[in-house]
Structure 1
Amino acid sequence: MHDGFRPALVAVLALIGLGAVAMALNLSARLPVGLWLEALLAPSADDIRELLVHYSVAPRAVVALIAGAGLALAGAVLQQALRNPLASPSTLGVSAGAQLALSLATVAAPSALLAGREVVALLGGAASTAVVTALSWRSRFAPLTVILSGMVAAMFCGAAASALTLFNERMLTGLYVWGSGALNQQDWSVAGPLGVKVAVLAGLVALTVRPLQLLEMDEPARSLGLSVVRLRLVTIGLAVALTAVIVSAVGVIGFIGLAAPALARALGVRRLRDRLAWSAAIGAAILFATDALLQAAEALAHLNVPTGAATALIGAPTLVWLASRLRNPAPVETERPAGPRVRRVGLAICLLATAVPVALLASLAIGPAPGGGLSVAPWPELAELLPWRWPRTLGAGAAGAMLAAAGLMLQRLTRNPIASPEVLGVSSGAALGFVLALLFAPSPGLAVQTAAAAAGGFLVAGALLGLGRGGRLAPEQLLIAGVALGAMFSALLAILMASGDPRMLLVANWMAGSTYDVEPAVAVGTMACAIVQIAASFLVVRWLDLAPLGRPFMLSVGASPAVAGLGVLALCATLTAGATLAVGPLSFAGLIAPHLALRLGFARAGGQLAAAALIGALTMIAADWLGRVVYVPFQVPAGLIGMLIAGPLLMWLLQRR
């Protein structure tokens, strides 16, 4: 008996048993026990309950088993091919690329879908994988760099898909629901073909097992005449194909391809052939049990939760655990100014400070012309437009300044140039706090909403500080942990969004970063919050100058890293909370602005903080203006514009590392 066989078998049987119990509860809520076998094998055409079980419940269970096995097998193959325990279809952006390709084809070229959804999804997944490969090439596919590249690609693809959904709501509403990972079935037309395709691809993977084993030893493999690059391309292609056929059939199911192989390794399965087989079995069992539990919750408590969101709750902690176990990650160099340092910091800050009101006035005055193009509104017309324009513009600018200040502090505190409230999940935590207050607090006012958002942001920031305390996690590991926590909070938000509460319709628009509903009181409050908190941030400038030098140096000069960390994180949480209430959790101004300030030559923390805040305000004012004029008569959320800009910037930063 091979190592790990018995514990792996116990785990699979336990998960299948849990799923079977949940499925029994689901069936018992639909029809008597005596009719179960008849409903599964030969349902009566006169009994709608039996037809529902035969054509919906049963094929859904089969599809869950097939999809779970295929995604887990794809994850195990990717991990072996890249020698990276964090690799999976989700973390490499393969699933998100396939979803974006299907969205694009649905809108721009519906005829392309006639060739097969699998072909379109395969092209999208392959394109996303190619981007990740290009971004990771310079680092020789260092594990953490590969995962960061994949997550950036996934975030950009997700933002682009959200933009398409926003502009083509009627056409893509079904695709949006499908993209959340819903396994709902209406007949057996998906289960049969999907099973055949996954079986064929699994057979092709089995043919590569022996050469895949040699990838663990690069030099001996080359000495035996094996083309390592070609083998990697072939096996990655098979994993992408597996993901594409599953995504095209059931939507995006996150993190199964990460959690199942990790569990197989943790249970002691060592041989590659066994690991692939047990990963597939565990993945099938995990998805079957998860979906069966969700169906039981829907049948008994009328709670409808997307399967993809539920699997993210499983995979995100797994990603944190795996990131913490990686040994000797590549060192991260703090980015230095590209150009000469600013000699007259005060003058440069004054110029940026002058640019903000100029941009504010230009955004208020310039808008779409009736006949197309842009025009400057004359004063009588502008006076009528101001009540509609100034609250959203002022709120966006203030939120951008706060996010930029929080991003700068996080980058210096974590010593990672890719850190920001949005990337580290602080914004998602603040958003979750706001939504919980909206749902459960009786008539929550602005103060309660702000406190709840700040608590959510501080919870994430505090968790990251705890994980990284004492240097236990390197900066890149801390970044991945933050992204995973953000994914977990986003999954919780998705579950709340699926609750059917009518208040969630307003939340959906706000979460995309829309400033359309910013009221004058909120705009003024956000501006006051920005002024007070950014001014308070200058009290920790000394800590921000010392933090990139490391914990030992801070102790040697009499600074307390713990006190500094708590103080800076408290400011980051409150800054992020105030900004999130105004523009939602998506903008990435907290990532862009500190880098632009650094590129302009602001090296010291004080000057960079002031410059970043002003640049953040300019960025969000510009994003809000672009959202008003780029697709008239529709309005694009400013946060979505920011994400589409930040995606390429993140890729550029990763490529340079």
Structure 2
Amino acid sequence: MTTLTAPPRPEPATRPAPAGPLSAPRVVGAFVAGALLLLVVAAVHLTQGTSTVGALDLLRLVTGGEDEAARVLVASRIPRLLAGLAIGVALGCAGAALQSIARNPLASPDTLAVNAGAHLAIVTVAAFGISLPVLPAGGLALLGGLAAAALVMALSAGGQSNTTRLILAGSATALALNSATMLLLILFEQGTIGLFAWGNGSLVQSDLNALTQLAPVIGVAVVALVLLGHRLDILALGDDTATVLGLDVRRTRLIVTVLAVLLSAAAVTLTGPVGFVGLCAPVIVRLLGPLVPGVHRHRVLLPLSGIAGTIIVLGSDVLLRAVMGAQAGVDIPTGVVTTLFGAAILIWLARRHRDAGPTRRPPGGHAAVRSATFHRAVVACCAVLAVTAVVVGMLAGDTWVLLGDIVNWVQGRTGPAYTFVLDQRWPRVAAAVLAGAALAVAGTTVQAVCRNPLAEPGILGITAGAGLGAVSLLTFVPLAGVWAVSGVAGLGAILAFALVYGAAWRGGLSSDRLVLIGFGAWYGGMAVITFLIVAFDPWNTAKALTWLSGSTYGRTATQVLPVAIALVLLTPAVVAARRELDLLALDDDTPRVLGVRLERARLVALVAAALLTSTAVSAVGVIGFVGLVAPHAARVLVGGRHSRVLPVAALLGALLVSLADTLGRTVIAPAQIPAGLVTALIGTPYFVWLLWRSRAVVSPSAR
């Protein structure tokens, strides 16, 4: 393979340990400064709480103060402080270890789906009414985290081949696991009560029982990682070099992975998944490299990352209670704040990132060339299947009807019972079909513009922005009308898209940078949605689950109308720009040579995708993977030309969401599964297959 045809290699994600001597005074100074900052944050943390015990009351304890202050300190504040210290150390060290073995600054317990796997394992046990002691629960979380990490590492070639690929694999796996977790929360609401807030990371501790059992596990794992620090320094030089120096690379990587996942599992067992601490802490420590020579050596990096992790966790908790009040520390999960901080770090890292790995290729690059007759046959088949899905959707549900009943209902000749059932059912079927079509058209557009076959509106922050706008309005203006909700959702989608697009622009638009920043916006938007629900409407978690899971429950004709209007107005515009989409999917130079105004065409296409997505979200909530699966399946069937892909993708999207909605309404009737959870559980295996297939194609050259 020549230099011209070889794919670009990704740049080193993490710096190897420097060969020069350590600057001992500066390293000691970094530890002292970190310890002093931690002591200050911990002292402030102890003064906060829902009781009237303040800093002066705590100071009086030194001279034999009131018993009330001592009781508050021992029963509430010390357990919360120690829990924050424990998970901060655990997640900080786990993140540093995972970033080192993956040689990727975006590897963390969150992006590798470790937290999601551990969380699902614990919720599964609670859902079936099984109460496990702390250590067995931690062991179960360890197994769940290891399984998730193994899958993500396999799909992303150990995380080394491509940063965007790692984020896509980890986020897709986490989305599937979170969908399964949310499904259990919905189906077993009584058995899992309180786990929604806990699932975002809460420091509330009733006693020290769990901490005293998990603290030795965390301590032993951290010490073991530090002892392996020299091996990690050698591993940072590269697998070949490390092997020449006598290091067993595979065994070292396996041991470090197990220890990192063990730390993450212990943290999840103790407080729930606190987001992005494992991403932020090592990144912050590595930024000290120019000031503290030797900080990249793992026997320095790991403990400093633990200190940074505790500062992030406790600092987030202090900030939350300082801004929102003491009760917010009980009601609002600390993980919401750390996730917002982590989303900002992720966006900052993405802006500095340069990547041109295997996900940057035209989305139709491997699509077969089909004849016009075959295309028409596929369109006809898809149309028949979509119509069949609509009919089945009208027939099925908690009350089954016959085809003749539908005919009589259309003619106005059914009785009150069937009339009520079908009047309630048809807006749901229409919402599913139209939202699926809108998301598929938007996904096709986004993939063409980004030249990324794994892109979709959700991972560009558009879905989170639309959901955030809709939930914000419903939270503060509960009686808002449908058009107001749709308008605010559209505004949220456009603002989120503008932020992502603007942040990704650095003298040009990088596909990988756009996707990574979009992921950061998605995580941040979801954290804000959770914050709004828990802070301002804590007794209505069903609303959060509805928006975050995607559901057609209770839809009305008025709520469906905005999606229909968006499809009628924007789909012809996208179809009219099919030639531009074909050119945009190739590269940046060809459209310019042929007279296409590149940035204008790209901007208009993405705005249309944002509007289509926002109306779909306002109608059915957040539904993932439709914008990824439908366009890809369409290209497999009819080739890469957008004049053919768009109609097939729209029909497949309508078919997918309609079937998901029907299954959700009938499988466990009268209970219901949100359509978004079904599409996630269906779409994730397809997405995993896409990643695995592309891995097989590119891994030899990537190495």
Q: How high is the TM-score relative to the length of structure 1?
A: 0.92
Shift of 1:286: 1.2
User: Does structure 1 residue 288 correspond to structure 2 residue 324?
Assistant: no
Q: Which amino acid aligns with 1:546?
A: L
Matched, 1:31 2:50: no
* Mapped partners of 1:640, 1:402: distance in 2: 18
Quote the Cα distance in structure 2 between the aligned partners of 1:237 and 1:599.
39
SS for the counterpart of 2:551 is coil
Deviations 1:139-167 (A, max 9, x none): 86544323322222111111110011110
**Alignment length, in residue pairs?**
651
Quote the offset at 1:16 in angstroms: 4.9
Q: Paired residue for 1:17? A: 40
The answer to whether the Cα contact below 8 Å between 2:129 and 2:191 also exists between their aligned partners in 1 is no
Deviations 1:75-99 (A, max 9, x none): 1111111211111111111111001
CA contact (8 A) 1:181 1:307 kept: yes
User: For the Cα contact (< 8 Å) 1:369–1:375, is it kept in 2?
Assistant: no
Tell me, yes or no, if structure 1 residue 310 matches structure 2 residue 340. no
Question: Hey, what's the Cα distance between the residues in 1 that align with 2:84 and 2:135?
Answer: 25
Cα deviation, residue 177, structure 1: 2.8
Report if the CA contact (8 A) 2:466-2:492 is conserved.
Answer: yes
Structure-to-structure mapping, 1:497-576, within 5 angstroms = 497-501=533-537, 505-576=542-613
**Are the equivalent residues in 2 in contact too, given 1:408–1:609 (CA < 8 A)?**
yes
2:391 maps to a residue whose letter is L
Comparing 440-449 with 159-168, which one deviates more in the overlay?
440-449
Is 1:341 the equivalent of 2:370? yes
Provide closer, same or farther for how the CA distance between residues 558 and 120 of structure 1 changes in structure 2, counting only shifts above 3 A.
same
* Superposition deviation, residue 404 in structure 1: 0.6
**1:362–1:95 CA distance, 2 compared to 1 (3 A):** same
Deviates further, 388-397 or 270-279? 270-279
Shift of residue 570, structure 1, vs aligned partner: 1.4
State which drifts further: 520-529 or 346-355. 346-355
Task: Write the letter of the residue equivalent to 1:170.
Answer: Q
Q: In structure 2, what residue type is equivalent to 1:618?
A: L
Aligned to 1:192: 212
| d(CA) in 1 for partners of 2:170, 2:524 | 17
Q: From 430, 440, 445, give the equivalent of 1:404.
A: 440
Q: Note if contact 1:410-1:420 (Cα within 8 Å) is conserved in structure 2.
A: yes
Match of 2:615 in 1: 578
Question: If the length of structure 2 is used for normalisation, what is the TM-score?
Answer: 0.86
Listed one character per residue, the Cα deviations across residues 541-586 of structure 1 (whole Å, up to 9, x for unaligned) are: 2221111122222221111122112211211111011100111012
Alignment identity in percent?
33
Q: Which moved more, 1:553-562 or 1:487-496?
A: 553-562
SS of residue matched to 1:116: helix
Aligned to 2:298: 272
**TM-fit CA distance, 1:503:** 6.3
**1:453 partnered with 2:489:** yes
Deviation track 1:351-377 (CA, whole Å, cap 9, x = no partner) reads 43343333212221234678xxx9767
> Gaps spanning 5+ residues in structure 2: where?
1-22, 290-294, 407-413, 695-703
1:120 maps to a residue whose letter is: L
Residue identity in the other structure for 2:431: G
Residues 278 and 33 of structure 1: CA distance in aligned 2, closer, same or farther (over 3 Å): closer
1:600 counterpart SS class: helix
Question: 1:7: how far off?
Answer: 5.7
Task: Give the RMSD, CA atoms, in angstroms.
Answer: 2.7
2:210 matched to 1:174? no
Partner Cα separation in structure 1 for residue 448 and residue 589 of structure 2: 15
Distance in 2 between the 1:106 and 1:141 partners?
Answer: 38
**d(CA) in 2 for partners of 1:176 and 1:40?**
39
Q: Is the 8 A contact 2:368 2:638 kept in 1?
A: yes
- Identify if the C-alpha distance between structure 1 residues 33 and 604 changes in structure 2 by more than 3 Å, giving closer, same or farther: closer
Q: CA deviation at 1:385?
A: 2.5
Q: Aligned partners of 2:149, 2:495: CA distance in 1, in Å? A: 33
Q: Work out whether 1:366 is the aligned partner of 2:402.
A: no
Residue 320 of structure 1 pairs with residue 320 of structure 2: no
Q: Secondary structure at the match of 1:422?
A: helix
Q: Is the contact made by 1:22 and 1:293 (CA closer than 8 Å) also made in structure 2?
A: no
1:383 deviates by: 4.3
Letter in 2 for 1:389: R
Cα deviation for residue 398 of structure 1 reads 0.5
Equivalent position amino acid for 2:247 in 1? L
Q: Deviations over 1:212-271 (max 9, x none)?
A: 111022223212322111110111111011111111111101110110100001122232
| Pairing of 1:115-514 with structure 2 (within 5 A) | 116-137=136-157, 141-217=161-237, 218-268=239-289, 269-297=295-323, 299-300=325-326, 304-331=331-358, 332-336=360-364, 337-344=366-373, 345-367=375-397, 378=405, 380=414, 383-440=419-476, 443-469=479-505, 474-501=510-537, 505-514=542-551
Counterpart pick for 1:641 among 678, 694, 699: 678
Task: Give the CA deviation at 1:341.
Answer: 1.7
Write the letter of the residue equivalent to 2:287.
A
* Distance in 1 of aligned mates of 2:644 and 2:28: 60
**Deviation for aligned residue 1:412:** 0.6
For the residues of structure 1 that align with 2:476 and 2:198, how far apart are their CA atoms? Answer: 29
Q: Which runs of 5+ in 1 are unaligned?
A: none
Query: CA separation in 1, counterparts of 2:476 and 2:126?
Result: 38
* Alpha-carbon distance between aligned partners in 1 of 2:530 and 2:184, rounded to the nearest angstrom: 19
Query: In structure 1, what residue type is equivalent to 2:622?
Result: P
Structure 1 residues 39 and 291, CA gap change in structure 2 (3 angstroms): farther
**Which SS does the other structure have where 1:190 is aligned?**
helix
- Equivalent pair of 2:242/2:249 in contact (CA under 8 Å): yes
Stretch moving more, 291-300 or 91-100: 291-300
Query: Aligned partners of 1:567, 1:245: CA distance in 2, in Å?
Result: 47
The one-letter amino acid of 2:554's match is: D
Shift of the 12–91 alpha-carbon distance from structure 1 to 2, 3 Å rule, reads: farther
Distance in 2 between residues matched to 1:280 and 1:647, nearest whole Å: 33
